[in-house]
Amino acid sequence: MHDVVQIGYGPVSQVLALMLARQGHRVAVVERWSEPYTLPRAVCIDHEAARMLRAIGVGDGLARVSQPAPLYQWFNAQWEELLCLDWSADSVSGGPEVNFVHQPSLEAEFRAVVREQPGVELNLGWELAGFTDRGDHVEVRLQQFAGTETRTLRTRYLVGVDGANSTVRGRLGIGREDAGFQADWLVVDMKLNPGVTLDIPDCGQYCNPERPTTMVPGGVQDGRVCRRWEFMRLPGETRDALQDEAHVWKLLGKWVRPDQAELVRHTIYTFRSLVAETWRKGRVLIAGDAAHTMPPFMGQGMCAGIRDAWNLSWKLDRILRGQAGDELLDSYTAERKPHVNGVIDAAVYLGRIICIADPAEAAERDRAFKAGTAAPFPPFPHLTAGLVAQGTPMAGLLSPHGTVRWRGREGRWDDVVGLGFCVVLRDADPATVLRPDQLRALKGLGAHVVGISAAPQGDMVGDMVVDADGKYLSFLTAHGAAGMVTRPDFYVFGGASEAQGLAGLVDELTQALGDHGVRLPMVAEHAAA
Ligand SMILES: Cc1cc2nc3c(=O)[nH]c(=O)nc-3n(C[C@H](O)[C@H](O)[C@H](O)COP(=O)(O)OP(=O)(O)OC[C@H]3O[C@@H](n4cnc5c(N)ncnc54)[C@H](O)[C@@H]3O)c2cc1C
């Protein structure tokens, strides 16, 4: 019996397999293609996804194939700036808001680490033929993609990470909600010749109604700098005419010459915004593009999928260990779907700025931006539902990731204190305000229970984490909080205005996880079984 079977082996499935395997679970992956897909799609990884990737041991791999983002600038036809997103700024998670990445190289890094996991069984060259939810497990039927053999797997949970045309979603009969955005864009990937630098915006959207154009970094492949251009299909223009190779070079002509770079690929994508109605039915779940697709103007499709995997992996971990009930999975759709809808709102907002082919409409847009009357850019979403202590300070916000000193070590919180639930109190040991039964329950959850202070103070009880760059104390101060409880996916479960309020938060958390006789983690025992 597997703990989790995953259909599809794209980037979201790769990170989900890693997340689950590193927690000691037995995973089987099923992918119809025997060889990896080698062409890039995603080029951006945001700070939150980068923190997750570091947490699962692929931070060095990410660094090898990515570059920190420059400013993300939006220009009108006259090259006047309409909008600027500072993707180079220091983010809440530490490091830049965004990194640009070469997706196939990143996936190769993921797959190399997955191969080191004894708990992951790869079924490459197999596809899903059907599945039946038997109540206490799922029976998954596979067939060879280029052959006639069949195979049946039994698993406690099945996850469809099988892309936008998800068979799993289709077989569950789950429909998709359409935010109403649709546009065809020609996507062109180039690898610059060694030593070539181009006189173009580092990262920009040229909102020229004559030909809306994107030009962004494309990460690094084998030490060579990659670049991405995207050109909107104009009204009346045929797909064939747009993607004819001679025409592609004509479109590129303003920006790059054939002697400066190699054309890696060019193809037309239809950008749409579609979200599955629900992301779970019984023991079967969907994640990544199977659950949502969005226009790429925010660079968020894969990042959203990595968030799905991270959200799902810690919940499945709790359930598979018997530390939470199956109903914890109800919070998956409740948390992820509104978050993705918020990201889609931002992507569609950006899409509506650039996808204008009518000069009068473009002039109206430019006037609105100049006059400051354009609709404001939607804020990036946080968690608004699910497993959060509603009404408490910071509930649902992404927690900061700063540099700390603790027990003789200095570094990022995740490396020095660790991953998982954290109970953090300003200038005091949380043990001073929590009951013994609560401390036992937190130990069972593997939670880190620590005080944090600006500097060690002689009269304090317990060993304080020192907030070396001040990120934690300024976060607590900004929200009028004395302490907080954070979740394994870095979101704040809840905050307490007074130290004594932590006890109520811990009760709320343990009740929300369900009374399942919280036990000590049993990774070794579980992995050996
Ligand atoms: C032009 C463009 C630009 C983008 N830019 C960004 C960006 O900058 N940042 C970002 O975060 N995202 C971006 N995205 C989105 C990102 O590429 C996708 O969200 C991401 O690749 C989806 O990953 P996935 O693992 O969910 O699905 P996929 O990569 O589609 O993987 C699904 C896998 O499932 C397999 N499969 C399907 N059905 C079956 C079956 N029945 N049996 C077995 N196997 C099956 C498929 O063969 C495939 O390998 C962009 C997308 C496009 C098109």
179 vs 524 pLDDT, higher one: 179
Q: Say yes or no: CB of residue 127 within 6 Å of ligand 1.
A: yes
Q: Say yes or no: CB of residue 488 within 6 Å of ligand 1.
A: no
Please choose, from the candidates 458, 398, 466, the residue with its C-alpha nearest in 3D space to the C-alpha of residue 426: 466
217 and 312 in a single domain? The answer is no
Domain end, chosen from 245, 272, 299, is at 272
Centre a 10 Å sphere on the Cβ of residue 135 and count the other Cβ atoms it contains: 8
* Residue 308 belongs to a domain: yes
Average pLDDT over residues 379-400: 95
Q: Is the pLDDT of residue 176 over 70?
A: yes
For 52-61, write each residue's pLDDT tens digit. 999 999 999 9
Q: Say yes or no: CB of residue 158 within 6 Å of ligand 1.
A: no
121 and 26 in a single domain? The answer is yes
- Band the pLDDT of 525: cuts 50, 70, 90: very low
pLDDT at site 303:
97
* Residue 512 belongs to a domain: yes
- Band the pLDDT of 324: cuts 50, 70, 90: confident
Domain tally, the chain: 3
Average pLDDT over residues 444-458: 86
Whole-angstrom Cα distance, residue 446 to residue 461? 21
For 231-264, write each residue's pLDDT tens digit. 999 999 999 999 999 999 999 999 999 999 999 9
- Band the pLDDT of 515: cuts 50, 70, 90: low
Q: Is the pLDDT of residue 514 over 90?
A: no
pLDDT at site 323:
84
Q: Are 159 and 277 in contact (CB under 8 A)?
A: no
pLDDT at site 353:
93
DSSP state of 62: H
Q: Give CA separation, 149 vs 44, 125, 128, 146, 168, in Å.
A: 39, 11, 12, 9, 21
Q: Is the pLDDT of residue 523 over 90?
A: no
Q: Say yes or no: CB of residue 161 within 6 Å of ligand 1.
A: yes
Q: Say yes or no: CB of residue 32 within 6 Å of ligand 1.
A: yes
CATH assignment at residue 40: 3.50.50.60
Q: Is the pLDDT of residue 138 over 90?
A: yes
Centre a 10 Å sphere on the Cβ of residue 255 and count the other Cβ atoms it contains: 18
Q: Say yes or no: CB of residue 300 within 6 Å of ligand 1.
A: yes
In three-state secondary structure terms, 219 is strand
- Band the pLDDT of 528: cuts 50, 70, 90: very low
Average pLDDT over residues 359-368: 96
The structure tokens listed for 194 are 């060694």
Angle between helices 11-22 and 301-320 (to 10 degrees): 30
Q: Is the pLDDT of residue 485 over 80?
A: yes
pLDDT at site 517:
40
* Residue 360 belongs to a domain: no
For 143-158, write each residue's pLDDT tens digit. 999 989 999 999 999 9
* Residue 367 belongs to a domain: no
215 and 119 in a single domain? The answer is no
* Residue 340 belongs to a domain: no
Q: Is the pLDDT of residue 520 over 50?
A: no
In percent, how much of the chain has pLDDT > 70? 96
Q: What are the residues facing 286 on neighbouring strands?
A: 160
The closest residue, in CA terms, to atom 53 on ligand 1 is 41
Q: Say yes or no: CB of residue 30 within 6 Å of ligand 1.
A: yes
Q: Is the pLDDT of residue 80 over 90?
A: yes
163 and 189 in a single domain? The answer is no
The closest residue, in CA terms, to atom 37 on ligand 1 is 162
Average pLDDT over residues 512-522: 51
* Residue 78 belongs to a domain: no
Q: Say yes or no: CB of residue 128 within 6 Å of ligand 1.
A: yes
Q: Say yes or no: CB of residue 107 within 6 Å of ligand 1.
A: no
Q: Are 454 and 467 in contact (CB under 8 A)?
A: yes
Q: Say yes or no: CB of residue 187 within 6 Å of ligand 1.
A: yes
pLDDT at site 458:
59
For 421-431, write each residue's pLDDT tens digit. 999 999 999 99
pLDDT at site 38:
87
CATH assignment at residue 483: 3.40.30.120
Q: Is the pLDDT of residue 223 over 90?
A: no
Domain end, chosen from 332, 358, 375, is at 332
Half-sphere exposure of 46 (CA within 13 A, CB side): 19
Choose one of 144, 182, 289 to mutate for the ligand 1 pocket test, by most ligand atoms within 8 angstroms of C-beta.
289
* Residue 239 belongs to a domain: yes
pLDDT at site 522:
31
34 and 149 in a single domain? The answer is yes
190 and 114 in a single domain? The answer is no
- Band the pLDDT of 299: cuts 50, 70, 90: very high
For 398-413, write each residue's pLDDT tens digit. 999 999 999 989 999 9
318 and 226 in a single domain? The answer is no
- Band the pLDDT of 219: cuts 50, 70, 90: confident
Choose one of 12, 34, 38, 41 to mutate for the ligand 1 pocket test, by most ligand atoms within 8 angstroms of C-beta.
41
**Which atom, in ligand 1's list, is nearest to the CA of 269?**
53
**Which atom, in ligand 1's list, is nearest to the CA of 230?**
1
- Per the prediction, the chain carries an average pLDDT of 93
First to last CA, the chain: 11
pLDDT at site 507:
95
Distance 289 CA to ligand 1 centre (A): 6
Question: Which domain covers residue 520, as residue numbers?
Answer: 403-525
